[in-house]
Structure 1
């Protein structure tokens, strides 16, 4: 594959969508094909899985953590096969909101499943595809909660307890500490423009491979 795979991670309300949009616009002005996508929900099947997982409510009821992890893996398998790999094979830059690290943090650390089990099913679903760069926007859970409240409405995961969101944050930080060459960790309290500059500084050297 000749493309570049960049993922953005962090708690809900960290500003991932904003940074994905800014990075995608910067890349497009330089002539690169950019595929912006997300998990869950980057395919038609994924959109249905996203609806069930995040907005199913009484129609779905209480979802067992293992069932939740498997549904995210199913979304990932379809997404990688139908969107991400084809884009990388034709030399595009894929800028993706959430990937395997979210499963490790949310279902592993947050739901207290074995991280090794979650990693194994996620890597099987993705056939081992790894991003060249993962940007972690680190945000205090209380700050993230106030951001979510200001935009109105919460989904099933956003509405979890403070302890859950603290565990997720710690899970992300431990993943970044274990893989510093792949991760760029940024304080999400910084202005969006400054964060964008830091992301571009890390992405620019990767573009020589295209």
Structure 2
């Protein structure tokens, strides 16, 4: 996010933290360093344009995460596997107490 957009969002949000209170110059240096790291290590960083509306930023993050999971072989389930995304999750205590080794 640009230092200008960051300052604008902070003023709208109203609750500043210690980083929000830093100068625009400081925030610009931090941003530049992260962009430099991303350029040097594209396999470790994904740059998202956070100056966009929050919904678009969220969509871009989800797309980047999907791509990373797909690249790692962890994305989409193979054909025929059941989708448990809407299945209620059991508590850790219930799972530990279960005799079923396949319980999730």
Normalised TM-score (structure 2):
0.58
Residues of 1 paired with 2:54 and 2:15: CA distance? 23
Equivalent residues in 2 for 1:26-65 (5 A)?
A: none
Aligned residues: 72
> CA 1:190–1:157 in 2, change beyond 3 Å: closer, same or farther?
closer
Q: Which residue of 1 aligns with 2:84?
A: none
Which of 1 and 2 has higher RCO (CA within 8 Å, sep 6+)?
A: 1
Equivalent residues in 2 for 1:3-82 (5 A)?
A: none
Deviations 1:102-125 (A, max 9, x none): xxxxxxxxxxxxxxxxxxxxxxxx
Deviation of 1:202 after TM superposition, in Å, equals: 2.3
Q: Which residue of 2 aligns with 1:164?
A: 26
Normalised TM-score (structure 1):
0.31
Q: Which residue of 1 aligns with 2:37?
A: 175
Q: Which runs of 5+ in 2 are unaligned?
A: 76-104
Q: Does 1:209 align with 2:74?
A: yes
Give the counterpart of 1:154 among 13, 16, 35. 16
Q: Which residue of 2 aligns with 1:140?
A: 2
Q: Which residue of 2 aligns with 1:193?
A: 55
> CA 1:149–1:180 in 2, change beyond 3 Å: closer, same or farther?
same
Higher strand share: 1
Higher helix share: 1
> CA 1:155–1:176 in 2, change beyond 3 Å: closer, same or farther?
same
Residues of 2 paired with 1:175 and 1:156: CA distance? 23
Q: CA RMSD in A?
A: 2.0
Larger radius of gyration: 2
> CA 1:192–1:156 in 2, change beyond 3 Å: closer, same or farther?
closer
Residues of 2 paired with 1:170 and 1:164: CA distance? 10
Q: Which runs of 5+ in 1 are unaligned?
A: 1-138
